[in-house]
């Protein structure tokens, strides 16, 4: 049964543009709704207050012109100036009332009377709405006044139909709603344009990545805003890192193939010729191939681990572990380690153990019985000095010792790959290794420098 390969589908969390526009729309709606409600309250209150002031002005004029006649009733020295007080049902009315006295109404009231509540006293101006005339809603202003020469407290009332006031409020609210709706539309269009223009660099990045995938470009190019530029730089650095790893992988594969080609040819020739030493030839060449495979596997592991941003190893535990292992192999060798105990390097622990193990084991193997390891911090690096009291290495041979398979002392077991592995792994982590003469012990001194890791807060 065959299965069709499933295509990878990227799952998104929705449109970023839509999310930004929706947030802007919700915020704009909330602000305009709150601001519109507050402005409506202020404007309606101002219009209503202006309406009441006009009624209060008329009532004040009535009070000023009012006097008590011989019969003890209220009379006016002058008629109200507004003609509507004389027209029945005109919508503008006045009335003077008192407890136990007959009300004195304007002609416009005709046979109707304004409600007079004698249970309370209005020493100051009192304004309120009233539906006492059924469908004709009234706005009433009233005040209690005691006129000179009269012990009676008279209530002066002026009322006007709310039709004009309600029409003003309706017009005001319609204008307010239209204005705020237009403002909201304008703000939403502005938010949409801002979102589209603000996210335009991200669309450019996406198109540049598509060009890279299509083979038309190798990097994301072009100037970017300062908010997007760091992301583009990191993306280009990631691409460069992947290209470097791919190139290293190709180079290692080619080197390994080339290194295995000669031993395999020797084995095939010996097998074809039925050579008498076929078994010895196979064993010898197999060991050579194993050394090459071990070397390239070590490099491949280091390259694969180098990409981790969290690569970190504490120096002192690694030194103690290597020192114990080497001391068991070379019991006659004295190994002294000194230096700060809180240093860390930006290297994987396995790779640090492998480099220190090779260097300290070589010092113990080829030295005269004493190995001195000094560790310290040097300008962003951790420096290891591995010294022995052996014969050392001539200066002209120090470069060649890093070549794969080179052994200056063939009388002792080894593969000749230790120093080459140390150099390659150190370079992978942007470190260095060099050979010098030990001033204290007289033998060889290996200086290994590895990038220091930041302190853990």
- What pLDDT score does 350 carry? 84
Instruction: Look at strands 66-68 and 334-338 and give their pairing.
Output: unpaired
Fold of 308-451: Heat Shock Protein 90 (3.30.565)
Q: Residue 281: which residues within 8 A CB-CB, separation 6 or more?
A: 266, 267, 270, 275
- Joined tokens for residue 249: 């992988």
Specify the 3-state DSSP secondary structure of 227: coil
Around Cβ 311, how many Cβ atoms within 10 Å? 18
Terminal-residue alpha carbon distance, the chain: 56
CATH class of 40-169: alpha beta
Q: How far is CA 422 from each of CA 43, 196, 298, rounded to the nearest angstrom?
A: 84, 53, 10
pLDDT tens sequence across 360-401: 998 998 888 899 999 999 888 999 999 999 888 887 777 767
pLDDT of residue 26: 92
Q: Is the pTM of this model over 0.75?
A: no
User: What pLDDT score does 199 carry?
Assistant: 82
* pLDDT in the model for residue 336: 93
Give the integer Cα–Cα distance in Å for 212 and 223: 17
The alpha carbons of the chain give a radius of gyration, in whole angstroms, of 50
Cα–Cα distances in Å, from 369 out to 324, 336, 339, 432, 438? 15, 11, 21, 26, 14
Distance (Å, whole) CA 270 – CA 392 = 39
Each residue of 371-407: b (16+ CB within 10 Å) or e? bbbebeeeeebbbbbbbbbbebbeeeebeebbebeee
What single DSSP character describes residue 134? Answer: T
Predicted confidence (pLDDT) per residue in 225-278, tens digit: 887 788 888 888 888 878 877 777 776 676 667 667 777 887 888 888 887 788
| pLDDT computed for residue 305 by the predictor | 56
Low-confidence ranges of the chain (pLDDT < 70): 1-13, 118, 251-252, 254-256, 258-259, 291-292, 295-310, 400, 402-418, 454-457
- For residue 385, give the H/E element and its range: strand 381-388
Distance in angstroms (rounded) separating the CA atoms of residues 209 and 204: 9
- Give domain limits for the chain: 40-169, 308-451
CB crowding 8-33: b at 16 or more within 10 Å, else e: eeeeeeeeeeeebbeebeeebeeebe
Under DSSP, the state recorded for 77 is S
């Amino acid at each position: 049964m065959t299965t069709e390969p499933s295509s990878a589908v990227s799952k998104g969390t929705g449109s970023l543009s839509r999310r930004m526009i929706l947030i802007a729309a919700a915020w704009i709606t909330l602000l305009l709704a709150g601001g519109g409600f507050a402005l409506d309250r202020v404007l309606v209150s101002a219009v209503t207050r202006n309406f009441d002031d006009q009624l209060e002005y008329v009532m004040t004029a009535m009070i000023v012109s009012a006097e008590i006649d011989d019969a003890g009733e209220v009379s006016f020295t002058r008629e109200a100036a507004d003609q509507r007080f004389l027209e029945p049902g005109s919508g503008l009315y006045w009335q003077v009332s008192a407890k136990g006295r007959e009300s004195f109404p304007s002609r416009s009231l005709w046979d109707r009377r304004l409600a007079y509540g004698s249970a309370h006293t209005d020493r100051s101006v009192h304004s309120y709405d009233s539906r006492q005339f059924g469908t004709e809603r009234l706005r009433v202003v009233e005040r209690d006044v005691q006129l000179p020469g009269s012990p009676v407290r008279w209530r002066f009332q002026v009322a006007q139909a709310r039709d004009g006031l309600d029409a003003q409020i309706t017009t005001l609210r319609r204008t307010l709603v239209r204005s705020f709706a237009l403002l909201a539309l304008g703000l939403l269009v502005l938010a949409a344009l801002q979102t589209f223009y603000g996210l335009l660099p991200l669309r450019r990045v996406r198109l540049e990545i598509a060009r890279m995938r299509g083979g038309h470009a190798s990097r994301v190019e072009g100037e970017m805003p300062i908010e997007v530029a760091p992301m583009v730089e990191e993306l280009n650095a990631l691409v460069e890192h992947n290209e470097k790893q791919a190139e290293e992988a190709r180079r290692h594969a080619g080197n390994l193939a080339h290194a295995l080609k000669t031993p395999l040819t020797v084995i095939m020739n010996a097998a074809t010729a039925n050579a008498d030493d076929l078994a010895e030839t196979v064993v010898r060449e197999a060991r050579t191939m194993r050394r090459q495979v071990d070397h390239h596997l070590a490099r491949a592991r280091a390259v694969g681990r180098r990409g981790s941003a969290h690569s970190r190893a504490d120096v002192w535990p690694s030194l103690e572990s290597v020192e114990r292992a080497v001391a068991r192999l070379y019991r006659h060798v004295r190994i002294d380690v000194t230096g700060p105990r809180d240093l860390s390097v930006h290297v994987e622990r396995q790779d640090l153990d492998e480099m220190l193990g090779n260097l300290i084991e070589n010092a113990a193997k080829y030295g005269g019985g004493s190995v001195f390891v000094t560790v310290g911090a040097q300008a962003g690096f951790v420096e290891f000095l591995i010294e022995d009291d052996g014969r050392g290495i001539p200066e002209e041979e120090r470069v060649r010792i890093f070549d794969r398979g080179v052994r200056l002392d063939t009388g002792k077991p080894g593969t000749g790959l230790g120093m080459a592995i140390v150099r390659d792994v150190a370079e992978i982590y942007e470190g260095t290794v060099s050979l010098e003469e030990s001033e204290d012990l007289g033998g060889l001194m290996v200086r290994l420098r590895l990038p220091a890791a930041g302190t853990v807060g």
